[in-house]
Amino acid sequence: MYKAERTTVDKKRPPPVKVLSGQLRTAGARGHMDPAEGVQIRVGPDRYLLVSLVWMQGTVLEVQLDRNMVLLMDETGTFTVQGVNSIPKGKPCLLQGKYVMVMGVIQAAAPEPVIRAVKVADLSEQAALHRRMWKLEVEDLQRVMA
């Protein structure tokens, strides 16, 4: 039998976790943010999950390509996404009103979450479905991971 070994990359960057901006904001306000380790989000009574790479979804409110950032809003609040100019194929979907998915690394949790983008994808074609399902997807994944 082969024994699976964890590399230092695995230890530093676990897979992305689906989160809501309100979870990051609350964790940051509680002081549960360590830039080297990530953010401890609450996923239930006395249950926390350490996250650093996140998957978030929201509606584009404001685009500031000159500042390399966009402002998005999910059902729990707003969050800022930085580094959008360096995302291949990401710019076409960064228009006000579009519903997008962002995968990225947490830069700050409070007072407003800031994510450095790794990937951006347009979900606008089926935005109504994605919006309805998003909170359920987040809760389901976090329940499994915690």
What DSSP string describes 71-84?
EEEETTEEEEEE-G
**What is the predicted pLDDT for the residue at 21?**
94
Return the pLDDT at 35: 60
- Which tokens belong to 134? 């998003």
pLDDT confidence of residue 90: 67
Per-residue pLDDT, 92: 77
What pLDDT is attached to residue 1? Answer: 44
Return the pLDDT at 81. Answer: 97
pLDDT along the chain (146 residues), means of 10: 44 78 84 72 84 94 95 96 86 88 92 93 89 86 80
Q: Is the dihedral of CA 19, 77, 88, 98 positive or negative?
A: positive
Q: Which two tokens stand for residue 27?
A: 């964790």
Residue 68: the pLDDT is: 94
**pLDDT of amino acid 5:** 44
Please name every residue paired with 40 in a beta bridge, in sequence order, or none if there are none. Answer: 50
Answer for the pair 63, 80: CB distance below 8 angstroms, yes or no: no
pLDDT of residue 3: 47
Distance between CA atoms of 10 and 114, rounded to whole angstroms?
Answer: 23
Residue 37's pLDDT is 78
Tokens 């006000």 belong to 96
